[in-house]
Amino acid sequence: MNEKLLNILRQVDTPTICNAIEGVQGKRGFDNFTKKTMHISEINNESIVGYAVTAKIIASSPPKDSPEIVKSRRMNYYKYVSEGKTPIVVVIEDEDGLNPCGAFWGEVNATIHKGLGLKGVITNGTMRDLDVLPKNFPILSGAVGPSHAFVHVTEFKCKVDVLGMTVYPGDLIHADRHGACVIPKDTIEGLENSISKLVSDENIVLDPARKEGFNYEILEKAWLVIEKSRNNK
């Protein structure tokens, strides 16, 4: 992905990306996105964009492995995420599912990951320490809670599922306060043109709709222009 496209992706929201992906594919039905309402730690001017490093955690029960193995796994996890393809976004599946009970994401872990160069977090799990989380490091989570419980890393560099979104290491992620999606590899080349056409088509109806005097007749004419544009793509 070139720098121009990366900057474009950062400036548009995730709903636009989902629509643009369908534009490249030539049909509706793209479905590799999160499907539950999520919490975001901060709203920035830019969307979260990056290549996925992945892991699984659990917090509802203590680790079954020895403390030495648990520590080694966590440090190996930190090394793994720090060496990801840039820009890096971490995607973590909480194996407690829809009932997460312990936060992996608080002041300490968020600050560590930001310091390692990561650009943000997507998880179905829990975050906490909302008032002291590092700035410019957005966390998109499935829950907010006070405790870390028994949270620990169980696996990393693996396939994960976050609220209906399936992610493999290296997948290109786009996310904002609406949720997250995986950009299919075979759509990346056509994404810039698809975004441009999508915005242009929407403005055909949005521009008159924002002006005084807008009515059904104007809408009908504008919609015919949109349909013609879509049929000529």
Which residue ranges make up each domain of the chain? 31-183, 189-231
- Contact status, residue 89 vs residue 119, Cβ threshold 8 Å: yes
- Please give the average per-residue pLDDT across 113-134, as a whole number: 98
The confidence band for 98, taking pLDDT boundaries of 50, 70 and 90, is confident
Q: Measured between alpha carbons, how far is 128 from 186 in angstroms, rounded to an integer?
A: 37
pLDDT at 164 over 70: yes
Look up residue 50 and give its amino acid: G
Tell me: the pLDDT tens digits for 81-93? 999 999 999 999 9
Mean predicted lDDT score pLDDT of the chain: 96
pLDDT at 95 over 90: yes
Tell me: the pLDDT tens digits for 174-232? 999 999 999 999 999 999 999 999 999 999 999 999 999 999 999 999 999 988 887 76
pLDDT at 233: 58
CATH superfamily, with its number, for domain 31-183: Ribonuclease E inhibitor RraA/RraA-like (3.50.30.40)
Q: Measured between alpha carbons, how far is 18 from 32 in angstroms, rounded to an integer?
A: 9
- Please give the average per-residue pLDDT across 76-102, as a whole number: 96
Q: Taking Cα atoms as reference points, which of 45, 19, 46 lies closest to residue 197?
A: 19
Q: Taking Cα atoms as reference points, which of 77, 27, 30, 76 lies closest to residue 174?
A: 30
Q: What angle do CA 41, 14, 188 make, to 5 degrees?
A: 130
The confidence band for 108, taking pLDDT boundaries of 50, 70 and 90, is very high
